[in-house]
Structure 1
């Protein structure tokens, strides 16, 4: 139970850190749209793998739905963080 919870939240942390690192390292890309969509797609892929893993691991439907909703909410939070970082870089 503790290991599942640790893995559950570490997937969210990995998705967040990978998108932040990509935005910081992609200074050569001049298009802000491309700099926004590539880390967003990367975090979407990581969190989608997390949702699939959680549906396999969770034992009841309530846990499966709650886990998927947490991953979806974290995806939108990561999108907002990406946007804030790009707007901050533009100034």
Structure 2
């Protein structure tokens, strides 16, 4: 199945693209998609993961919904889903 990963900020700069399409097996999870992305684009892997764990400051979304409100990185994906991730934003 195909899913799209949209990239912003430092992630876009590291990949040299604003989005990447991944071909994943049916039933793949959000975490598996991010691991596949990191393997395909090692420069993104360094920004996404600290060892085996996703950097805890990242917010991950599937189709605009934060995965913490679903099953976290175990959230299953469907064909055509869009995955995005952002560092936390602050300001005043």
Would you tell me which structure has more strand in proportion to its own residues?
Answer: 2
- Give the structure with higher Rg (CA): 1
Would you tell me which structure has more helix in proportion to its own residues?
Answer: 1
